[in-house]
């Protein structure tokens, strides 16, 4: 079995990709992933979900993370200009 890697190492190895992690270790708030075992990775989220599904049998827990940053889809500024007037 592969070794557990920290999130900072995973982000370096798989930049801007979806990464399926086995046996993730979470922070105290149970929101942020601190480390895990990379099972499968790709730039395509659906590929990771479908192909990675068969690779998760030996793990108690799994999670999916994105190592890049999300860009805002659109700006919501027009509504504020109308309210102020």
Is the whole model's pTM more than 0.85, yes or no?
no
Residue 14 has pLDDT above 80, yes or no: yes
Cβ within 8 Å of residue 82, ≥6 positions away: none
Confirm if 38 and 65 have CB atoms less than 8 A apart. Answer: no
**Number of structural domains in the chain:** 1
- The reported pLDDT for the residue numbered 63 is 95
- The reported pLDDT for the residue numbered 47 is 96
Range of 35's domain?
Answer: 5-84
Residues 37-71: pLDDT tens digits? 999 999 999 999 999 989 999 999 999 999 999 77
Cβ within 8 Å of residue 70, ≥6 positions away: none
Q: How far apart are CA 19 and CA 39, in angstroms?
A: 7
- The reported pLDDT for the residue numbered 30 is 84
Residue 27 has pLDDT above 90, yes or no: yes
Report the chain's C-alpha Rg in angstroms. 17
CA distances from 64 to 54, 58, 74 (A): 14, 16, 25
């Amino acid at each position: 079995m592969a070794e557990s890697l920290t999130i900072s190492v995973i982000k370096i190895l798989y930049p801007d990709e979806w990464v399926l992690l086995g046996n993730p270790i979470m922070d105290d708030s149970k929101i942020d992933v601190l480390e895990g075992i990379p099972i499968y990775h790709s730039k395509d989220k659906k590929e990771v979900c479908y192909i990675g599904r068969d690779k998760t049998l030996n793990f108690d827990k799994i999670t999916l993370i994105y190592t890049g940053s999300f860009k805002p889809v659109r700006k919501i500024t027009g509504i504020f200009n109308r309210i102020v007037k």
